[in-house]
Structure 1
Amino acid sequence: MRLLLAEDARLVREPLVHALQRAGWAVDVAADGEHALELALSVAYDAVVLDIMLPALDGLSVLREIRAASCGVPVVLLTARSDVRDRVRGLNMGADDYLPKPFHVQELIARLGAVTRRHAAAPTQTFEACGLVLDPVARQLVGPRASIGLTGKEALILEALMRRAGGVVPRRVIEEAAWGAGPGSPGRLEAQISSLRTKLGKAGAHARIETVRGVGYVLREASNA
């Protein structure tokens, strides 16, 4: 199970990461709202824990953008605000649950278990962009000519690109989507992109993955390139 923790306070964030990892979660961290939104829209998370008081972009704005992008990932809000109106706003904007600070980490873990169980009972989400359909669970790419099986990494990378089709996805975001945070081996992303380009061709896709040198990659309709 993979989780995004968006929390700017290091003294809160670090103990939470350790506790969540002990509970079996793979945890990615964002210390500001812009990074949190970038990751949430590009990576297939099982849940997001989102502090309302984030720098750069506040947590409620991040939540609004996540839901505006039709991303249904379960979101648990953390808030130090005592005003119940902020909690109501968050729930009305699509949060699945919230916890006021201070809280016990075991309660957060229990609430995460509850929201992910509800989410798992929902129908499987597929992604459509540029004339392609991706089933990330079955790792299946459906194009105009054929249905092609993908490896786990290929499916994660293509999902990150399809979530933001037509827009440049930074290299760092794609690598975090496929491998998580941390240093990686040189050339690993290029090898996966090369394989995906071949499979797009086999599927008869009218789309291509373009390299934006020094930045990342973009998936776009070939006719619009």
Structure 2
Amino acid sequence: VKVATRNGQSLGLDVDGRVADAEGIPYDDDTFDLVVGHAVLHHIPDVELAMREVLRVLRPGGRFVFCGEPTRHGDAIARRLSRLTWWAASNVTQWPGLRENWARPAAELAESSRAAALESLVDLHTFDPDRLAALCMRAGAIDVRTETEELTASWFGWPVRTFEAAVRPGALGWNWAMFAFRGWKSLSWLDQNVMSRFVPDEFFYNVGVTGFKPGAAAQA
């Protein structure tokens, strides 16, 4: 928060940065025109209460946008792929001939496993797109809609990131980085332009939701 505030000030912006509970936002009613969040809702214990708070601090006709939230089916598939990749990479890199250049030290692998286990403590929810929209409407929002992204891109991206974490730092190099980036970009295009036409939304990995506070005419 301090860094964000400092960066805003360096750009000539009057930024008020606070650490706060999303279920009790410390701002007055009707304060903001827009509330934006990324990968935050699935960490909040009471999402509907937080959404009511978002609507409270929005001005009439104000908009909220939340992106990067995991879907129930998409998250389950991605995590299975990630666990399989971790098991394969951490074992294969211990083979003779690979260990010296590819294997991470056992202590580092153990620490990474412990860090990954902490996700279960902070990743509290996954979402069905329709149910997420219904939750926002129960909280009082209008003109709510959801959009999903990353199907094959998540099937590719999660194993790639997991593999990168499982091998010795620096072992993969620039060509691997470009392969990972271009692969993800290409599959994201495929998901958006082809797969989204016939694959149900709930199987994509990410869901975003937007809506408005009742009052002044909403702008799409």
TM-score by length of 2: 0.27
Which of 1 and 2 has greater Rg?
2
- Relative contact order higher in (CA < 8 Å, ≥ 6 apart): 2
